[in-house]
Amino acid sequence: MKVSILGCGYVGLVTGACLAEIGHEVTCTDNDLSKIQTLQQGALPIYEPHLDEIVARNTQSRRLTFTGDLGEAIRFGDAVFICVGTPPLEDGDADLSAIDNCARLIAAESRQPKLVIEKSTVPMQTGQKLKRALAIYSRNSGYRFTVASNPEFLREGTAVSDFLHPDRIVIGVDDEGAEAQLREIYRPIIERSLACPVHDGSCPPEQTPALVVTSINSAELIKHSCNSFLALKISYANLIADICENMGADVQEVVHAMGLDPRIGHDFLNPGLGFGGFCLPKDIQAFIRLGEKAGVDVGLLKDAESINKRRIDSFLAKVRQALWILKGKRVGILGLAFKPNTDDIRFAPAIEIIRKLQQERAQIQVYDPQAMEKTKPLFPSIRYCADAYEAADRADALLIVTEWPEFKGLDWQRVRELMLQPLVVDGRNLLDSAKMSELGFEYQGIGKPNADGLVPSLPVNQVTRLAAVERYQATNRVRPSSRPVAGL
Ligand code: UGA
């Protein structure tokens, strides 16, 4: 099938390249002409594992093309995927102006009826508005456009694999023709008849992906519900981490045991610096706005968001506690990307951390395997290092902000020798605290008891509470069936 892709960000590029890889003819466009030029010259504007080889192969075979001519791109496809950005407005609502602009262009440039598919993450009812906009903008041409919602569940860093091995494909339609076209587009993935470029022909055993056909409204809601649930799960893990820190337990032990319950699962229970990136933070905000408009109490989502916003401050409080004054101290930062295997720094914890450290006039030296070029324009005056060892060199503290696997494998003995003070604050629990202590580091992770196993100093009311807990436990050992005193 001939497919047009509007928007060459993560979703658009991966969708376009993967649809070409499974046999479709695809042309991609973007209103950022420099991005299109980069792609036409055979380079990629983003780092995403396996994407380069797929783009190279399919541009060579001419199944995948890039054009700066929006009209030409729109006329090319029988199906047009809208993959433009929906960034947050100041009030948290999603900015849908790029979607409206696509509707205008599709209506103006098409010379035949088309299936228009929203792949961008949009609030519920956007599809209905898109349908109406297309009908209004095309009233002179008379072409009829069908609209479908086909939310994307790929994660940056594993986007190609996620696209080609999805656990489900959600199709929101109100038209049988649209459903048939989308089934055809995804047929090689649904039937597992593709030659997978990620696993070299040895894909892990997997089930056929579920094809979920819903209304357009439901498909849109599924996407927001999923991302918000993932955000809730992360904030829940972070809440437990705070309890662990204040009461002397190890969050990794706790979430490990929790995750063994198949109803809970291990995924997205890693506490740390909270959720960043261009999806979870903006999607939970947009979902809160949507819920409010629907007249629903969204306190649960708001709490998850505010737990997330506090993560950076509580992380920096640890650094401040250990270093006392930050002014003039040399702080090494390992990791800038919002997560490993990407160069994306949008809403990355590192950005906020650097900004706050700069306010306190710390000297900052950073290293990230992929994200330094994208960070340089934001912070031109900090030091960008050639490797992790340089970021540790003469540092008073080393902060682990992104859990790149290569940081785990560093020669930590060498790192300790390079540092002025052997203080490591690990925002991702990447390292083994016992081993770090053995190597002579003062190591602080997330949700860990103190090295001496003692509960950190607590406000008086908490200490009183602890004593009460101990009293209760002692009594409870004698009378196992007795119930806790209310309010304890
Ligand atoms: C997320 C969703 O996971 C995808 O399913 C969805 O398709 C995508 O958004 C999207 O809407 O386009 P992504 O933003 O690539 O994918 O990243 P995630 O892997 O979800 O991580 C988001 C953030 O949560 C990262 O900052 C990560 O470090 C953090 N995180 C994740 C945790 O702090 N703890 C965890 O246990 C998991």
pLDDT computed for residue 102 by the predictor: 97
CA of 275 to the centre of ligand 1 (A): 7
- Which of 162, 175, 217, 168 is CA-nearest to residue 18? 162
Q: Which residues does residue 108 pair with via DSSP β-bridges, in sequence order?
A: none
Pocket test for ligand 1, best of 224, 275, 287 (most atoms within 8 A of CB): 275
User: Using CA positions, which residue lies closest to atom 30 of ligand 1?
Assistant: 275
Residues 51-100 pLDDT 10s? 999 999 999 999 999 999 999 999 999 999 999 999 999 988 999 999 99
Q: What is the mean pLDDT of residues 191-208?
A: 79
Residue 197 has pLDDT above 90, yes or no: no
As for ligand 1, residues whose beta carbon falls within 6 Å of it are 121, 152-156, 227, 230, 234, 268-270, 272, 274-277, 279-280, 338-339
CB-CB contact of 1 with 80 (8 Å): no
C-alpha–C-alpha distance, residues 144 and 12, integer Å = 24
pLDDT computed for residue 465 by the predictor: 42
pLDDT computed for residue 142 by the predictor: 81
C-alpha–C-alpha distance, residues 87 and 451, integer Å = 43
Residues 358-373 pLDDT 10s? 999 999 999 999 999 9
Which amino acid belongs to residue 100?
D
pLDDT computed for residue 56 by the predictor: 97
Catalytic residues: 279
User: Using CA positions, which residue lies closest to atom 19 of ligand 1?
Assistant: 155
C-alpha–C-alpha distance, residues 346 and 330, integer Å = 25
Residue 422 has pLDDT above 70, yes or no: yes
Residue 474 has pLDDT above 60, yes or no: no
Residue 481 has pLDDT above 60, yes or no: no
379 Cβ contact list (under 8 Å, min separation 6)? 354, 358, 364
- Which of 6-15, 227-236, 432-441, 444-453 is predicted with the least confidence, judged by mean pLDDT? 444-453
- Which of 189-198, 286-295, 385-394, 472-481 is predicted with the least confidence, judged by mean pLDDT? 472-481
| pLDDT greater at residue 488 or residue 435 | 435
Q: Please spell the DSSP secondary structure of 282-307, one letter per residue.
A: HHHHHHHHHHHHTT---HHHHHHHHH
pLDDT computed for residue 208 by the predictor: 84
Q: What is the mean pLDDT of residues 102-115?
A: 95
pTM, two decimal places? 0.90
Q: By 3-state DSSP, what share of the chain in percent is helix, strand and coil, each rounded to 5?
A: 45, 15, 40
pLDDT computed for residue 284 by the predictor: 96
Burial class (CB in 10 A: 0-12, 13-18, 19+), 214: middle
Q: Tally DSSP H helices, then E strands, for the chain.
A: 19, 14
pLDDT computed for residue 468 by the predictor: 40
| pLDDT greater at residue 153 or residue 473 | 153
pLDDT computed for residue 316 by the predictor: 97
Residue 378 has pLDDT above 70, yes or no: yes
485 Cβ contact list (under 8 Å, min separation 6)? 472
452: confidence class by pLDDT, cuts 50, 70, 90: low
224 Cβ contact list (under 8 Å, min separation 6)? 121, 123, 124, 283, 286, 287, 290
Q: What is the mean pLDDT of residues 409-422?
A: 97
Q: What is the mean pLDDT of residues 140-155?
A: 93
pLDDT computed for residue 462 by the predictor: 43
Q: What is the mean pLDDT of the chain?
A: 91
